[in-house]
Amino acid sequence: MQKLAIFREYDIRGIYNEDLTRENVTRIGYLLGLELQKRGGKNLGIGYDARVHSEIIFDWFCQGVFASGAVAYHLGRIPTPVGYFALYSEFKIESQVLKLDGSVMITGSHNPPKYNGFKITLCKEPFFGEEIYALEREFYALDFEEVAQKIPPHIEPQKLNVLDLYVDYLAKEFAHLKGLELPLAIDCGNGIAGVGIGRILERLGIPFKGLFFEPDGNFPNHHPDPSEEKNLQELKNEVAKMGGVGFAFDGDGDRLALIKHTQKGEKVYKGDELAIVFAHTIPNPIVIGEVKCSLNMYESIDKIGQSIMYKTGHSNLKVKLKESGAHMAFEVSGHIFFNDRYFGFDDATYAALRVLELLKQSGLEFDKVLESLPKLYSTDEIKIETCEEKKFVLVEKLKNLLENPASLPKDFPKILKIISIDGVRVIFEQGWGLVRASNTTPVLVTRFEAKSLESLENYQNALLGLLESILKEK
């Protein structure tokens, strides 16, 4: 079998009917069913997002699960966090109570419509990294004819209504928000998040203007990635007209963007800015950030508690959150994890409700703490296309050059420290620059921040120039 590029650091993701064929999907379902049983589990809940092929992939995947001897349960069309929530729920089936041992979300997240994939949690632990690569090796060694013979005929997974449990839980947890009135707009980008947030706000009696709430896997209005400001234009226009705030969700509902109306225009909050705001609401907070987070985030939180810098990636942060006992974790891109009063997984709907809680307590001045921070200048993510085979090699070459001062140009900015926990974050005298390999796409991701525009440009030119010299090597 030709090798596929679907096995990624955090999940399994590829193109429907090219990489994700019936045979390949059934193989994956079979192997994950076996893996769950090795861990002492048997019951696997499976949900899917709004993509046009998600339900087809669901059927193929369930065949593999049943062939393994595990039991597949139908969680329906739900946001990814609802799939995580299913692992903390109890389901009444006749006179018995069922608890799930694992969950799989069939989703392409924020990727273009032709993509799909699997986000996997077994025994409440994210299944990622070396576990996925080990499954990849088993995938190629598997005799599919033997699997096909084990598929039971005409078996349908039993349906479990986890969405109602989720809506009930959050409506109860945030009952104190009932009657909150403020101008509020929400853009679901034709993803799946609207099936949860809409019902919860209606239960709480909180009015809102909904944009693109109808799930449509073709994403006809804009790409469902709220970390790209071009995808927020309609929401920004609505917030400008209404005032107040706006929320934007990604395709599967695990990432959030926040927009607030100000006298200077509509402000978009990055995840690390929200980290500062939330940290100041908790005594002695312990907060995890990733390598792309601002210097202001780390320094501000360290004054009132403890910050921890860690690897980018929702699976990495979930593991670190549990290991460290931290209250929260944040990615710049809008993955937000609450261990404080919640279960520690990334849930954009829950995060939005926590923002509304802040708004009820402090009004539109909920973010006043940000005004006291030093002025910093930063770039958005700058992505450099490469290929899967080269991206990590390129970062390693760059790291080796940076650690050898004699190999650097004479005018290269002074390096104070190199952090290599995830790619290379280079600390300069007036700021920092980051180059890391994306774990989900064949690109290098870079970001820069400094105390002046001049320093920002200097660090960006120096680091990208060094990287360009490596790219030109034969």
For residue range 51-100, what is the model confidence (pLDDT) as tens digits? 999 999 999 999 999 999 999 999 999 999 999 999 999 999 888 999 99
Among the residues of 207-344, which ranges form H helices?
233-242, 271-279, 295-304, 314-324
Instruction: Let me know: does 18 contact 53? Beta carbons within 8 Å.
Output: no
Whether 169 is in a domain gets the answer: no
Q: Structural domain of residue 126, as residue ranges?
A: 12-162
Domain CATH for 180: 3.40.120.10
The predicted model gives 256-262 an average pLDDT of: 96
Q: What is the pLDDT of residue 76?
A: 97
User: Same structural domain for residues 16 and 151?
Assistant: yes
pLDDT bucket at 103, cuts 50 / 70 / 90: very high
For residue range 432-450, what is the model confidence (pLDDT) as tens digits? 999 999 887 889 999 999 9
User: Same structural domain for residues 81 and 150?
Assistant: yes
User: Same structural domain for residues 106 and 157?
Assistant: yes
Range name among 128-137, 291-300, 388-397 with the lowest pLDDT average: 388-397
Active site annotation includes 223: no
User: Same structural domain for residues 361 and 415?
Assistant: no
User: Same structural domain for residues 105 and 21?
Assistant: yes
What does the buried/exposed string (b/e) look like for 154-179 if buried means 16 or more CB atoms within 10 Å of the residue's CB? Answer: eeebeebebbebbbeebbeebeebee
User: Same structural domain for residues 211 and 254?
Assistant: yes
User: Same structural domain for residues 45 and 158?
Assistant: yes
For residue range 321-345, what is the model confidence (pLDDT) as tens digits? 999 999 999 999 999 999 999 999 9
User: Same structural domain for residues 121 and 20?
Assistant: yes
Domain limit, last residue, from 108, 139, 162: 162
Q: What is the pLDDT of residue 2?
A: 78
DSSP 175: G
Q: Which among 286, 344, 278 has a CA at the least distance from the CA of 314?
A: 344
Choose, from 27, 110, 261, 335, the residue flagged as catalytic: 335
Choose, from 8, 13, 280, 436, the residue flagged as catalytic: 13
Domain limit, last residue, from 374, 396, 430: 374
Choose, from 54, 68, 103, 109, the residue flagged as catalytic: 109
Which of 76 and 389 is assigned the larger pLDDT?
76
Q: How many structural domains is the chain composed of? A: 4
User: Same structural domain for residues 157 and 19?
Assistant: yes
φ, ψ of residue 238 to 5 degrees: the values are -70, -40
The reply to whether the predicted model has a pTM over 0.85 is yes
Active site annotation includes 300: no
Active site annotation includes 335: yes
Q: What is the pLDDT of residue 474?
A: 57
User: Same structural domain for residues 257 and 395?
Assistant: no
Q: What is the pLDDT of residue 28?
A: 98
For residue range 145-171, what is the model confidence (pLDDT) as tens digits? 999 999 998 889 999 999 999 999 999
Name the 3-class secondary structure at 97: strand
